[in-house]
Structure 1
Amino acid sequence: MGIVYALWPTDGEPTAVTDADLERLYDYPPELTEPWVQANMVSSADGAAAVDGRSAGLSHPADKRVFALGRDLADVVLVGAGTAQAERYAGIKPRELRTSRRQARGLSPLPPIAVVTNRCSLSPQSPLLTDTMVPPIVLTCAAAPAERRDGLADAGADVVVVGEDSVDLPSAVRALGDRGLYRIDCEGGPRLLGAMVAADLVDQLCLTVSPLLAGAGAERIVSGPAMTGPPRSLRLASVLTADGFLMLRYRRA
């Protein structure tokens, strides 16, 4: 694994980053009383969000370290059903560092995964239900087939209806907050992130830029209908690097 260096903020020359440094940089605001959303994404230098349909081809051990940290510090991981399927999601597992981080902050032993799906397309046989220690939350809408909603509930999911014809994301975020899940780590994919940006729900963007040119054809980190209104302003909060990869952290301005 390449050493991670902080380019900014520093007092001068780039400095090696420890786990404690990462925790300090990426931790959620203290004493939250309402949901706060962090988005975690990776892209190529020319903007592609995936290689051969998966983000793994753009990643690096240092990026995976930051990605895991996002889960370690979160109350809940938010993901779109398509990404969960393409990236072969299962429930989040305990590990020594994750356990110690969560215990130190008074968090639950493991965060649940909340899956956004307009039609309850998640299978009851998905590893999110069969290979997990924490039941997933399924955020869906009234138009989703009742038999699918019931099947997921019978399989152990916490099924939450938020919206009529499609998932209403502000209502979904509020529903997570109602469960005391304020620290929300959104892992995409592009359509979910695009909708979250359009609804002005993203408080922090953690973006890894991979030193690759993927060429035309792949999605950007956001997709879907064009956003109405002006672009959302962000401020640069930190810049890390390892082996040519840049790990950028932006916060709501």
Structure 2
Amino acid sequence: MRSATTPLDLLVPGPEHLPLDPAERRLAELYAASPGDGPSVRANFVSTVDGGAWGPDHRSGSIGDDADWRVFRVLRAAADVVLVGAGTARHEGYTALDRPRDLPGADRPLELALVTRSGRVPQQLADGDRPPLVLTGEAGAATARRMVPADRVVAVASAHDPDEVDLRAGLAALAERGLPGVLCEGGPTLLAAMLADDLVDELCVTTSPCLVGPGPSRIVAASPAGAPGEEPRPAGIPASPPTPARLAHLLHAPGSGTLLARWLLR
């Protein structure tokens, strides 16, 4: 297990210095989920200064650092389920998830849920001992049931297109399974769809102190061509009016300059 070595400074509403703490007690307080009924969706992404969502290897991990890792672990420890697009899970090499063992709540299971229109599940997950939950439409459900146990398939078809995934219904289905705390980790196309449907309660963004130039998409990408590993969608996701966001806090890693912001969208 990787260990954290980067201290953090809280700039907003600080200032406050957050020394290294194996249990991450103060970070857990800062990222405590807002109370409420029903599903709660938090998205966590990393971006370069010039807006790139991944580095030269087309993976988000290549632009993250130790400061980002600290927050990443705290967010996973607080979630009930991690939600990702199947293409992102395939491209980033997702396997069955475990909570950080040295953080509170490590004894609780952490579920992985895939969003996939086609129903195809990455082989490394389909063959694992703990297959993911699969959120898909009617046609995708038939494919998914051939890859994972039927009770892991959540068929939530859109009323407008039975082969499309109704994300709102998918979140409700997860909550009914006792998984209301959702952590969305990507990719950019899924985040765009979630934002377009007004399903994201807060957005955590790490700004990595580097530039990658043209090529990588933003963390929100309407075009499937701009997001490696994302499955094609039959139509582009339309641009939406600007969504107001309120800054809950801003962390700064003094050694690297990395910034970590928690934005509340509700």
Same fold flag (TM > 0.5): yes
1:68 alignment partner, one of 59, 70, 73: 73
Structure 2-normalised TM-score? 0.84
Which residue in 1 is equivalent to 2:97?
Answer: 92
Cα offsets for 1:41-80 (capped at 9, x unmatched): 0000000001121001110011011111111111111001
Which residue in 2 is equivalent to 1:138?
Answer: 134
SS in 2 for 1:152: coil
Q: How does 1:165-184 map to 2 (within 5 A)?
A: 165-184=163-182
Which residue in 1 is equivalent to 2:226?
Answer: none
SS in 1 for 2:170: helix
8 Å CA contact 2:73–2:100 kept in 1: the answer is: no
Instruction: For structure 1, list consecutive stretches of 5 or more residues without a partner in the other structure.
Output: none
Matched, 1:245 2:258: yes
SS in 2 for 1:65: helix
Number of aligned residue pairs: give it. Answer: 239
Residues 1:129 and 1:102: Cα distance change in structure 2 (over 3 Å): farther
* Cα distance between partner residues in 2 of 1:60 and 1:228: 31
Which residue in 2 is equivalent to 1:198?
Answer: 196
SS in 2 for 1:192: helix
* Cα distance between partner residues in 2 of 1:208 and 1:165: 34
Residues 1:157 and 1:50: Cα distance change in structure 2 (over 3 Å): farther
Structure 1-normalised TM-score? 0.88
Matched, 1:152 2:147: yes
Question: Could you say what the CA RMSD is over the residues aligned between the two structures, in angstroms?
Answer: 1.9
User: Aligned residues: percent identity?
Assistant: 40
8 Å CA contact 2:77–2:100 kept in 1: the answer is: no
Cα offsets for 1:172-202 (capped at 9, x unmatched): 1111111121110000100000100100101
Residues 1:43 and 1:228: Cα distance change in structure 2 (over 3 Å): closer
8 Å CA contact 2:114–2:133 kept in 1: the answer is: yes
Which residue in 2 is equivalent to 1:161?
Answer: 155
What code does the residue aligned with 1:75 have?
D
Instruction: For structure 2, list consecutive stretches of 5 or more residues without a partner in the other structure.
Output: 223-235
Cα offsets for 1:134-180 (capped at 9, x unmatched): 4411001112272x2221234x7600111112111111111111112
Residues 1:95 and 1:41: Cα distance change in structure 2 (over 3 Å): closer
SS in 2 for 1:237: strand
